[in-house]
Amino acid sequence: MPNVFRLVKEKHLDTPLAGGSARRGERWNPAGVDVLYTSSSPELALVEVLAGLMPIRFDELPRFYLITIVLPDTEAIRVYQPSDLPPGWNAPVRPPACQAFFGTWLEGMQELTVSIPSAVVAFSANFVIHRAHLAFSQVEVASIQPFTVDGRLTVPVNYGPV
């Protein structure tokens, strides 16, 4: 199975496999259903995080850590292509159809993980991990390392308030 990646803020470093997505719901899960969003590469994890933070000045960025996660070898991953997804799946403001799309998967215990195209970079994949799945206990953190964001990817510090 592949390694997957996730950027977490320093304040969440003690719980690197906690989802947190259940509080308000995200693109692929409704509120009340907790999943773990990960990416196929550290670069995609960064782009996904920055897409949710922009616009932000470099001096306002929290300290991030890159979590490398190992998925269990025994679990299959269901792969979705853009043509499989509901209309508008990659819109900047997520349509409600996206949160309902994984309804059956989120209610059941089929695969531990699904691969879904990134709404930011559709040629790359994010991996959504079902935290309530029995195999989630086999998900392991391989490494945690500080991650520095290049200031050129943010609004310049001297830009003024954003």
Query: pLDDT (tens digit, 9 = 90+) per residue, 103-137?
Result: 878 887 789 999 999 999 989 999 999 998 989 99
Q: Per the domain annotation, does 161 fall within a domain?
A: no
What local confidence, expressed as pLDDT, does residue 106 receive? 84
| Rounded Cα distance, 94 and 26, in Å | 8
Per-residue model confidence as pLDDT tens digits over 2-37? 799 999 988 888 888 887 787 888 889 888 888 999
Q: Per the domain annotation, does 112 fall within a domain?
A: yes
Q: Per the domain annotation, does 58 fall within a domain?
A: yes
Q: Per the domain annotation, does 124 fall within a domain?
A: yes
Amino acid at 94: R
Domain count across the chain: 1
Q: Per the domain annotation, does 34 fall within a domain?
A: yes
| Rounded Cα distance, 130 and 108, in Å | 10
| Rounded Cα distance, 106 and 129, in Å | 10
Q: What is the residue range of 150's domain?
A: 3-154
What local confidence, expressed as pLDDT, does residue 139 receive? 95
Q: Per the domain annotation, does 150 fall within a domain?
A: yes
Q: Residue 40: CB partners within 8 Å, gap ≥ 6?
A: 2, 4, 5, 115, 124, 125, 126, 127
Q: Per the domain annotation, does 159 fall within a domain?
A: no
Task: Say what the pTM is.
Answer: 0.89
What local confidence, expressed as pLDDT, does residue 162 receive? 55
CA dihedral sign of residues 115, 5, 93, 19 = positive
Per-residue model confidence as pLDDT tens digits over 59-82? 777 899 999 999 998 778 999 999
